[in-house]
Amino acid sequence: MKKVLIPTKLDTVARDTLKAHGSYEVVQDDSADLASLVARHPDTYALIVRSEKVTKDIIDALPSLKVVIRAGAGYNTIDIKHARSKGVDVMNTPGANANAVAEEVIALMLADARHVVPADADTRAGGWEKKRFMGREITGKTVGIVGFGAIGQLVAKRLSGFDVKVLAYDPFLSEERAKDLGAESVELADIFEKCDYVSLHMPENEETRGIINKSLIARMKNGATLINCARAGIVNEADLRALKADKKLRFLNDVYPKDEAGPKSVADIADIMLPHLGASTHEANFNAASRSATQLIGYDDKGIASYVVNRDVPEGLDRAYSELAYALAHLCRGIAGGSKQMKLIETSFYGDLAKFGDWLLVQIVAALSDDFDRTQGYDAALEYLEEMGVEYFNRETDNRKGYGNSITVDVTTSLDAAHFQRISVRGTVAEGNMMISRINDFDKLYFEPVGTAALFIYKDRPGVIGQIGNALAEAGINIDDMRNPHDPTGAHSLALMQISQKIDAQLVEKIARKIEALHASCVDF
């Protein structure tokens, strides 16, 4: 019998499901701290937790531990790197809380529109302030959803009964999928300019941190409402504070830098504050518990590891190729432009890499979408692509072409309803270093994807490289490496430059205008 320790207030369906399976001894106890429970059960095989911190010391105290399951999506409370070093798989249950969060968004919208919180307090105190609490209706308004993954899509569904117009922003969302869900796919700026309500549903990472800043908030309608049930760090708090009063904005918030008691920095600007209640429903608890149990059984009985979030690279695969797959897709995304909608992903895995195609697809999807974690599995990647309406095709490769162990990633994005753009890149690993060997028709590049790369395509003529170099020099930027091939026709040239520091979009646009570029982009690897 394998011992499963559940040191948290989790729905008993997990315990009951595991016991009914017959292979598990289950100990569920939320009355003591995790350290003391671990000391009493050193033979624990699996640990199912909610927000408990699974530290290095906890992992080291359980020599028989093989799997930790986070009953929920986030796993920042678990030391996944140390777990990996000890051969312990860490799993999560993404999506189990999605409906709970979506319904919380609707609850916040209604509570604020009808002044439910202050009106309740006033009425209990003997007041009767009907004029003071004059509300507004959601019906007929325009609602913007930033991040149209599982939660964002459920928000749109839950709003369908209110006769609202829904605008959605998500670069990884096809227009067809958005229409199927009753939404119109638009650019991020359009959301803030056109919507009465803006609901945020994106992860926090290097690319999204502080993305809701002055430039976007200033575009909001006077009296509009911003709702954050995603992550605290995606909103630039100082920028919101500076603009909120003048624009008469409303701010409804459920997320903070740390989930703990104490003063909150947004207290002066939040019109409604909740203690991160998004996933706190009986149903979400049941779903997460049930998923935890069924995933553990599938993991043990069938070897299903779709939601293992710290799985190392497969045996026999050089880690550099995993990083290469990610870099190639990241380059495609950068060339396409972050707001372009994905339509189709095509891959080719040459040589010995063909047998690792499933694993490498995960890295590609993660590079193309902030909502997908590169530590998840192949089945999760396919499920996510289907959810977002993006097609995937893995081509059968012909090793007679002599590409060796290399990867080709093609991404088709929509420019508008009638036009598409296809970006194709190929790369390999040479002497342990990643190399970009081809971008569209520009071949034999052998360019290392590190640091910052600036890319310009232009009609071939003398003097262009000098113009680019002068513009960069004026900005105090040095060119560390460069490739400047022609396409097969000789009509166009590519200037691919590794530069000494990041450059802003304004400088890229300035150079593009100066050289009359057909394409200009900058990618940070």
Residues 317-352: pLDDT tens digits? 888 999 999 999 999 999 987 666 888 999 999 999
Asked whether residue 28 is domain-assigned, the answer is yes
Residue 82 CB partners (closer than 8 Å, separation 6+):
56, 59
Residues 410, 458, single domain; the answer is no
pLDDT confidence tier of residue 2, bands split at 50, 70 and 90 = very high
Asked whether residue 389 is domain-assigned, the answer is yes
Cα three-residue angle 14-100-253, rounded to 5 degrees? 130
Residue 364 has a pLDDT of 96
Residue 118 has a pLDDT of 96
CA–CA gap between residue 118 and residue 108 (Å, rounded): 13
Residues 89, 102, single domain; the answer is no
CB contact at 8 A, 145 and 159: no
Name the nearest CA neighbour of 12 among 315, 406, 290: 290
Which residue is associated with the tokens 């904005």?
249
Residues 120, 240, single domain; the answer is yes
The domain that holds 51 is classified in CATH as 3.40.50.720
pLDDT digits (tens, 9 = 90+) for 378-407: 888 998 999 899 999 999 988 777 778 999
Residues 102, 82, single domain; the answer is no
CB contact at 8 A, 437 and 455: no
Residues 128, 250, single domain; the answer is yes
**The one-letter amino acid at 37:** L
Q: pTM above 0.85?
A: no
CA–CA gap between residue 289 and residue 9 (Å, rounded): 10
Residues 119, 235, single domain; the answer is yes
Residues 69, 214, single domain; the answer is no
Instruction: Indicate the residue among 431, 446, 461 that finishes a domain.
Output: 446
Residue 141 has a pLDDT of 97
| Token pair for 323 | 């990083």
Residues 196, 263, single domain; the answer is yes
Is the pLDDT at 78 greater than 90? The verdict is yes
Residue 315 has a pLDDT of 78
Domain limits for position 321? 313-446
Asked whether residue 308 is domain-assigned, the answer is no
Residues 363, 431, single domain; the answer is yes
pLDDT confidence tier of residue 418, bands split at 50, 70 and 90 = low
Residue 45 has a pLDDT of 97
Residues 469, 419, single domain; the answer is no
**The one-letter amino acid at 370:** D
Residues 337, 416, single domain; the answer is yes
Asked whether residue 307 is domain-assigned, the answer is no
The domain that holds 514 is classified in CATH as 3.30.70.260
CA–CA gap between residue 175 and residue 183 (Å, rounded): 9
Domain count, the chain: 4
What is the average pLDDT across 455-479?
94
Residue 417 has a pLDDT of 63
Asked whether residue 88 is domain-assigned, the answer is yes
Residue 341 has a pLDDT of 81
Residues 133, 190, single domain; the answer is yes
